């Protein structure tokens, strides 16, 4: 497996070049100029989440292909810093993150183990993934952040400011329900024009998850 493919899966993954522009990134969205209260409420809601399970649909849009590539599976999160992404269709694929340890099992049951602490790029991407799920991206200095809104969603748009992530992503968009500040979808946009959309549905918050789900051995 190529290292770039692994990185994309880690940012399963994975979601315009100037975030500071006053122009909204999507039709129907407007920039929120005073965002401190919204950020505080989102941080408080995120901090109350100890575990998270959801159905996940990932859409990969490639410039060279007319049709999108769709994968479906399950997503699990457990404080602190534990994630399990389990694809079930069209192929089985598993990725487990437990702290700095990453384990990936492909459709042929081949296991790849990575220590994100030994690679600066993996470390950045691993940190980003965790930050987006638990809401701590607001304190991540690797990005500049702008906030937009429509009637139903807040849109946090992150633009990388450090080399490394800038080589892979132009922006990362995090769509959050206004009603409960939960994440509805992530959009990862790559510099070459390809992008990935990850939708979350049937979400279950703060349920007991077995420790075995996050085993990287």
pLDDT digits (tens, 9 = 90+) for 170-184: 999 999 999 999 889
pLDDT digits (tens, 9 = 90+) for 101-155: 999 998 888 999 988 777 777 777 777 777 777 778 888 888 899 999 999 999 9
pLDDT for position 37: 92
Average pLDDT for residues 18-47, to the nearest whole number? 77
DSSP string computed for 123-175: HHHHHHHHHHHHTGGGG-TTEEEEEEE-SSEEEEEEEE-STTGGGTEEEEEEE
Phi-psi region of 113 (alpha: psi -120 to 50; beta: other; left: phi over 0): beta
Query: At residue 11, does pLDDT exceed 70?
Result: no
CA 211, 199, 179 angle in degrees (round to 5)? 90
pLDDT for position 33: 86
Residue spans of the domains in the chain: they are: 3-16+36-205
Question: pTM to 2 decimals?
Answer: 0.82
Assigned superfamily of 3-16+36-205: Lipoprotein localisation LolA/LolB/LppX (2.50.20.10)
Mean pLDDT of the chain: 84
């Amino acid at each position: 497996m190529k290292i770039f493919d692994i990185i994309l899966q880690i940012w399963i993954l994975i979601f315009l070049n100037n975030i500071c522009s006053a122009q909204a990134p999507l039709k129907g969205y407007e920039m929120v100029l005073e965002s401190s209260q919204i950020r505080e409420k989102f941080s408080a809601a995120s901090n109350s989440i100890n575990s998270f399970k959801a159905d996940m649909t990932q859409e990969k849009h490639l410039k060279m292909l007319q049709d999108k590539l769709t994968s479906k599976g399950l997503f699990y999160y457990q404080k602190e810093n534990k994630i399990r992404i389990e694809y079930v269709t069209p192929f089985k694929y598993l990725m487990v993150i437990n702290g700095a340890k990453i384990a990936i099992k492909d459709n042929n049951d081949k296991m790849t183990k990575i220590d994100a602490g030994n690679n600066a790029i993996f470390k950045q991407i691993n940190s980003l993934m965790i930050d987006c799920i638990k809401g701590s991206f607001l304190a991540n200095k690797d990005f500049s952040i702008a906030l937009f809104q429509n009637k139903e969603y807040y849109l946090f748009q992150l633009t990388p400011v450090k080399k490394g992530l800038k080589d892979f992503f132009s922006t990362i968009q995090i769509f959050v329900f206004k009603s409960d500040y939960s994440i509805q979808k992530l959009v990862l946009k790559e510099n070459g024009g390809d992008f990935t959309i990850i939708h979350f549905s049937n979400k279950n918050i703060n349920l007991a998850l077995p420790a075995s789900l996050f085993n990287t051995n």
